């Protein structure tokens, strides 16, 4: 082999060796880079908390820093670790006071009035919760009304609610639907603001936002809410129908009692008659005539189950009623 051929072979071997060295270095660098990436991915990242975006200010919010009781915008996508806000209101009913005012009180269950309402409530409860063949549609939704003001519809509504709330297995929702007088809330000394009317007007409100729990365990109260010029239309709306159906079907052990305005003084009872299963018509003894009652019945005839309670009786309707009172007095001596 000539010297030229030897030099050429030497150059080729040196070139091949350098090429192998470069390829090895590239592989090594790739391996090192991959290992570095894996190490970076597996290493724990620092827990950096970003400040949450403050809720948008509302028109009735004075200052986000000073007004801690300002209403906050509802966030339907709540944080997993956030505590749910306490909903609902609570009212302490003065039982001694309402007892002095002539109403039934759980503190004194053995009275003539309490016994009378035990008799009154029993057929109403059978219509709502009795045997399957004896139940009526929407029987657990009951409206109490009268033909004219002052006959005792609120007196009857509250006493009936108190009596049913004494049942061991039943709950009562008492609704003040008299948005003009809201006498029920006045008697119970519960604020009538933010109630049924607001629930029908604002679809962002939930029942728990306006429902009032009481110190009577089985009794809750839904106030009437503020007056509204379209109260009748609100009660006749689809939202009202959906609301009534929901509260009637969701809780099978709940009796719903609606204290409605007088039939001849307001158009609301005629609308509510479409949504209830039973009606109690309070008639004032020796004052409400047959013609007035017939007029009222025509306006609430959409409900087929109408019951009557004779109120303010002076026990002058015959010996049978007088004997009944005598039996009670003798038995509870």
Question: How far apart are the C-alpha atoms of 257 and 141, rounded to whole Å?
Answer: 6
Instruction: Map tokens 């007035």 to a residue.
Output: 292
pLDDT on residue 226: 85
Per-residue model confidence as pLDDT tens for the chain (333 residues): 555 566 656 656 655 655 554 444 444 544 455 455 555 444 444 443 433 333 333 334 333 333 334 333 333 333 333 333 345 689 999 999 999 999 999 888 889 999 999 999 999 999 999 998 889 999 999 999 999 999 999 999 999 999 999 999 999 999 999 988 889 999 999 988 789 999 999 989 999 999 999 999 999 999 999 888 888 899 999 999 999 999 998 888 999 999 999 999 999 999 999 999 999 999 999 999 999 999 999 999 999 999 999 999 876 444 344 444 444 455 455
Q: What is the pLDDT of residue 251?
A: 82
- In this prediction the pTM is 0.70
Does residue 190 sit in helix, strand or coil? Answer: coil
d(CA 119, CA 124): 10
Q: With CA atoms as reference, report the closest residue to 277 among 310, 309, 254, 311.
A: 254
Three-state SS string over 132-158 comes to: CCCCCCCCCEEEEEECCCCCCHHHHHH
Beta bridge partners of 212: 89, 221
What is the three-class DSSP state of 308? strand
CA distances from 290 to 154, 167, 214, 314 (A): 22, 35, 39, 19
Q: Report the Cα–Cα distance between both ends of the chain, in Å, rounded.
A: 143
Q: What is the pLDDT of residue 227?
A: 85
Domain ranges of the chain: 89-331
pLDDT confidence of residue 58: 36
Q: For residue 6, what pLDDT is reported?
A: 60
Please give the CATH number for the structural domain made up of 89-331. 3.40.50.300
pLDDT score, position 53 = 34
Given this model, what pLDDT does residue 108 score?
Answer: 81
Please, what sign has the CA dihedral across residues 9, 14, 17, 23? negative
What's the CA gap between 211 and 191, in Å, rounded?
A: 11
* Three-state DSSP state, 66: coil
Name the 3-class secondary structure at 327: helix
Tokens of 127: 């219509």
Give me the pLDDT at residue 63, please: 34
Are 147 and 281 in contact by the 8 Å Cβ rule? The answer is yes
């Amino acid at each position: 082999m000539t010297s030229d051929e030897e030099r050429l072979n030497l150059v080729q071997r040196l070139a091949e060796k350098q090429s192998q060295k470069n390829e090895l270095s590239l592989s090594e660098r790739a391996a090192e880079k991959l290992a570095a990436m894996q190490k970076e991915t597996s290493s724990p990242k620092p827990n950096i908390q970003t400040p949450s975006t403050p809720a948008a200010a509302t028109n009735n919010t004075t200052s986000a820093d000073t007004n801690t009781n300002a209403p906050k915008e509802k966030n339907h996508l709540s944080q997993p670790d956030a505590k749910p806000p306490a909903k609902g209101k609570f009212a302490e009913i003065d039982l001694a006071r309402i007892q002095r005012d002539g109403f039934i009180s759980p503190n004194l269950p053995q009275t003539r009035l309490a016994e009378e309402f035990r008799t009154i409530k029993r057929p109403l409860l059978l219509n709502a919760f009795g045997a399957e063949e004896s139940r009526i549609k929407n029987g657990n939704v009951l409206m109490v009304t009268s033909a004219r003001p002052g006959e005792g519809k609120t007196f009857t509504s509250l006493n009936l609610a108190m009596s049913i709330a004494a049942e061991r297995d039943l709950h009562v929702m008492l609704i003040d639907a008299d948005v003009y007088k809201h006498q029920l809330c006045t008697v119970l000394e519960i604020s009538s603001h933010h109630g049924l009317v607001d629930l029908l007007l604002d679809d962002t409100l939930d029942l728990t936002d306006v429902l009032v729990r009481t110190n009577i365990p089985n009794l809750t109260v839904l106030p009437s809410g503020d007056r509204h010029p379209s109260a009748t239309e609100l009660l006749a709306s689809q939202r009202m129908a959906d609301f009534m159906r929901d509260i009637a079907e969701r809780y099978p052990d709940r009796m719903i009692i609606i204290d409605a305005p007088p039939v001849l003084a307001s158009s609301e009872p005629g609308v509510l008659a479409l949504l209830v299963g039973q009606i109690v018509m309070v008639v004032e003894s020796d004052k409400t005539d047959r013609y007035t009652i017939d007029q009222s019945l025509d306006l609430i005839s959409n409900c087929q189950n109408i019951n009557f309670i004779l109120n303010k009786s002076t026990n002058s309707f015959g010996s049978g009623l007088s004997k009944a009172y005598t039996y009670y007095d003798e038995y509870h001596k």
